[in-house]
Amino acid sequence: MVYRTRLIIGLSLLLSTVTLSGCSGIGFPGVYLINIDQGNIVEQDMVDQLKPDMTRRQVRFLLGTPIIEDTFNNDRWDYIRVVRRGNDTLLRRRLTVVFEDDVLVDVEGDYVSENWPEPDPEEPAEGAEESADEVAQS
């Protein structure tokens, strides 16, 4: 009798666990999910105002404080924005600004600006041939 009671309780727990975990993938109708906006809000007109040779202070004034300042590479700032509703990602944008000697030299990411020419895909990046030779030698 005790064995039978334990078996029934165990099976009931197992059945309820399986049933409830199956409900986690189902969206309940009528439940409102808010948009969650995380990161830096960077607009195209802000990126269009970036010009070569701007100082860090000028870039920070235009774009705000970067969400990621690389600890190991102080010459790179990353601005990232993600908008989500529930588990769905509605928008993901990235902008990377690169400095040399505290002066803006490059802008990369999901925004296109007339002030920054697109890299030529046929032309290898500077130093790419050298690094390939160094890897082959080691």
Q: What is the pLDDT of residues 30-89, one digit of tens each?
A: 777 888 888 988 999 999 999 999 999 999 999 999 988 888 888 999 999 999 987 888
Residue 14 in domain: no
Domain count, the chain: 1
Residue 29 in domain: no
Residue 15 in domain: no
Buried b (16+ CB within 10 A) or exposed e, 24-38: eeeeeeeeeeeeeee
- Dist. CA 49–CA 59, nearest whole Å: 9
Q: What is the pLDDT of residues 83-115, one digit of tens each?
A: 998 788 888 999 999 999 999 999 999 988 777
Q: Provide the whole-model pTM.
A: 0.62
Contact 62, 50 (CB under 8 A): yes
Residue 23 in domain: no
Residue 128 has pLDDT above 60, yes or no: no
Domain at 77, CATH number: 3.30.1450
Residue 117 in domain: yes
Domain that holds residue 99: 35-121
Residue 80 in domain: yes
Residue 75 in domain: yes
From the CB of residue 79, how many other CB atoms can be counted at a distance below 10 Å?
Answer: 24
Residue 68 in domain: yes
